[in-house]
A and B are shown apart, each in its own frame.
Chain A
Amino acid sequence: MDERNFTFMFYGLAAAWAILAAYVVYLGAREGKIRRQLENLRRMLEERDKT
């Protein structure tokens, strides 16, 4: 492959995948947060039901 403009092509492809990867990581983090909230709320309700 011609070296001409190769660096910018690499930056472009890297940026595209970096944005998508960052979004997937963000989704994963949010998934964990929502699951923790769900567990906490369920536990709170169970404890209140017991008392």
Chain B
Amino acid sequence: MGTRNKLIYLLAALGGLLVIRNLYVILLQFPDEAAQGAIYRIMFFHVPCWFICFTAFLAAGVASILYLWKRRMVFDNVAVSAVEIGVVFTATGLVTGSIWARVIWGIWWTWDPRLTWAFITLLVYLGYLMLRRAIDDPTERAKNSAVLCIFAFVSVVITYKAIDWWRTQHPGAVLSFRTGGGNIEPAWEMMLLWNFLALGLIAAAVLLIRLNQEQVRREVDGLRRRVHEL
């Protein structure tokens, strides 16, 4: 087994164990919230999903800049892998948020700025993945998608700042690093960070799997070109 595969198993195992430990604390040790009952526990997955998707899109943006600068395909591989994982976690964040909203707000969805921009971000990055499928030449594909990926990050920044710029339905920031503290129970905030770590480890394992696939796919593309040349 190669070093990368060992790392994948290690990250997945650590992430899995940490998730089990976190679920035990969240479900069996934390009391229900006075106003929300049991449903508030969705927060421990909803918020870390957003942390991970923002991190993934940031990584994709940095990798895209590095691709345009260095013109090395490995950065394109990182960008597409990170975007795909970001899209999965964005979808997870939207779905968990929608279920939470159904109980707390009485509606599945509203065109609140935070929700709307999160949805736009999802669509923009889905567009990025579709653009890649539409361009056959690997260099053109990497160049065009890197440019789109850099511009797409503007949508991530707007999504992140939406709760500060427009105070509407979605709650404002509660985490200490944004508010200075006092807006959330410290044990809950710590659990959000633990679950961010747990899901982050799983996301990192999946990213490595996806990177492996991208490398094999490039090999397939190369062989295909050789077959056509013969």
Contact residues in B for A19 (Cβ distance below 8 Å): 88, 91-92, 95
- Give Cα distance in the complex from A5 to B42, angstroms: 11
21 contacts between A and B (CB under 8 A): A2-B32, A4-B38, A5-B38, A5-B103, A8-B103, A9-B38, A9-B41, A11-B99, A12-B39, A12-B45, A15-B99, A16-B92, A19-B88, A27-B206, A27-B209, A27-B213, A30-B213, A31-B213, A38-B219, A38-B220, A44-B227
Contact residues in B for A11 (Cβ distance below 8 Å): 99
What residues make up the interface of A, taking CB atoms closer than 8 Å to B? 1-6, 8-9, 11-13, 15-16, 19-20, 23-24, 27, 30-31, 34-35, 37-38, 41-42, 44-45, 48
- Given that A8-B39, A16-B95, A38-B219 are contacting pairs, would A24 and B227 also be in contact in the complex, using a CB cutoff of 8 Å? no
- Give Cα distance in the complex from A14 to B19, angstroms: 14
Report the minimum CB–CB distance from B147 to chain A (whole Å): 26
Of A3, A8, A45, which contacts B99 at CB under 8 A?
A: A8
Of B45, B49, B216, which contacts A35 at CB under 8 A?
A: B216
Interface residues of B in 1-53 (CB under 8 A from A): 27-28, 32, 36-39, 41-42, 45-46, 49
Pair B38/A23 contact, Cβ less than 8 Å: no
Pair B220/A34 contact, Cβ less than 8 Å: yes
The size class of the interface chain B forms with chain A is: 35 or more
- Give Cα distance in the complex from A11 to B96, angstroms: 8
- Given that A12-B96, A24-B206, A27-B210 are contacting pairs, would A41 and B223 also be in contact in the complex, using a CB cutoff of 8 Å? yes
Contact residues in B for A35 (Cβ distance below 8 Å): 216
Contact residues in B for A13 (Cβ distance below 8 Å): 41-42, 45
Besides A1-B38, A9-B42, A19-B91, 12 other A-B contacts (C-beta < 8 A): A4-B37, A6-B37, A9-B38, A12-B42, A12-B95, A13-B42, A16-B46, A16-B49, A20-B202, A31-B213, A45-B223, A48-B230
- Give Cα distance in the complex from A34 to B28, angstroms: 43
Does B226 reach chain A (CB closer than 8 Å)?
Answer: yes
Contact residues in B for A41 (Cβ distance below 8 Å): 220, 223-224, 227
Q: Which residue of A lies closest to B32 (CB)?
A: A2
